Each structure stands twice: as structure tokens, then as C-alpha cells.
Amino acid sequence: MNLATANLEEDHVHIVLLTDVMEKMTTLPTANSFHLDEVVTIIKQFADGIHHAKEEDLLFPKMVEKGFSFQQGPITVMMNDHEQGRTFVRNMTEHILKYKAGNPEALPEVYKNMLNYTELLRAHIGKENNILFRMADNVLTPEEQQLLFDEFKQIGGSSSAGIGASDFIHRILILAKAYNIR
């Protein structure tokens, strides 16, 4: 059983859906300010706040216990991707504020950072699903996966656990519907 990595992959499905929304938003000449804020809030609180916390605070340290390095190799690459993502989100937030203050020239900068984030996260999720999580599955016992999954629930849980994250997933689905995705 790979409960913990399966739970992270389930989060990925929703994060990818959010990047689909972002990509669609960037095709529009003007932006809905509420939706811009909503996207950033969901990234900060769900993709980074809950999902990356599960990885950085629980899965990666567990893998380090099993012999992986925090200083080099695949976990370092993942940590660097998370950090790069935070930079794009900071830029997005900064330019959304300018856009909302009445500066339409800030919108292309918002869009540029949204597309950078989208590209980064899709590639990152591909690396985790195909490589890193499979490495984790090779070294973690079913009991360790279960224990990690239980700890995930304390961070904000999974849609299947019905805690915390389910609200964000619901909000992503509402956005996806507003932008005619799936």
C-alpha cells in the first residue's frame, strides 16, 4: 500500500487543474480581480500551505531518514522547485495589487508569472509522480506510508480524509467551471 504518496498524487490532480485555470485566465484581455485573488489564496494555502508542507515537513524528512540527502539529489531539486514557485507567486501577488489599484499594465506581468508558475508546477508534478514518489514507495513500508498519511491529515488532510483540503478542492472546481475547464 502506498497511502501517503497516493494522497499526494491526488493533491496533484487538483493543483494541475488550478494551473489549467490559470493558463485559461491568461488568454483573456482583462482579469476578474476576485478570481486573481482566489487563485493566489488557493496556491498559498493549499498548494504551498498544505501540499508542500506534507512533502517538506513529512515525506522528505522521512526519505532522508531512509538515506536520501537533503543537500543534493532529487529532494534538493524538489525543494528548489518549491522555492522557485514561491518567487513566481510573490511576483504575481505584487502585480495583482498594482492591477487592482488601476494599473492595467501590470496584467501582462501577472500573466507572465502565472504561466511561469504553471510550467514549473506541471514539470515538478511530473518529476514527483514519475520519479520521486516511486523512489519513496521503494523505501517506505506500508506501515510507514500509513503513519505519514495519518500525519498528513493533521496538516490539512486529503479530499478522501475530508479535512482541510476538501474546501480548497471545492474552490478549484468552482474556478474550473467558471473558466469552462472539464
Contact positions vs Fe ion (CB under 5 A): 55, 78, 128
Q: Which is nearer to Fe ion, 11 or 23 (CB)?
A: 11
Pair 115, 85: CB distance under 8 Å? no
Dihedral over Cα of 174, 35, 122, 71: its sign: negative
Q: What is the largest CA-CA distance in the chain?
A: 55
Pair 175, 35: CB distance under 8 Å? yes
How far, in Å, are 23, 43, 75, 117, 153 from residue 165 at the CA level?
22, 12, 24, 21, 9
Q: Which is nearer to Fe ion, 32 or 70 (CB)?
A: 70
Q: Which is nearer to Fe ion, 54 or 171 (CB)?
A: 54
**What are the grid coordinates assigned to 125, written together?**
508534478
**What are the grid coordinates assigned to 122, written together?**
506541471
At its nearest, how many Å lie between Fe ion and the CB of residue 56? 8
At its nearest, how many Å lie between Fe ion and the CB of residue 112? 22
CA separation for the pair 102, 96 (Å, rounded): 10
At its nearest, how many Å lie between Fe ion and the CB of residue 134? 13
Q: Which is nearer to Fe ion, 38 or 55 (CB)?
A: 55
At its nearest, how many Å lie between Fe ion and the CB of residue 7? 10
Q: Which is nearer to Fe ion, 13 or 174 (CB)?
A: 13
At its nearest, how many Å lie between Fe ion and the CB of residue 113? 19
Pair 42, 114: CB distance under 8 Å? no
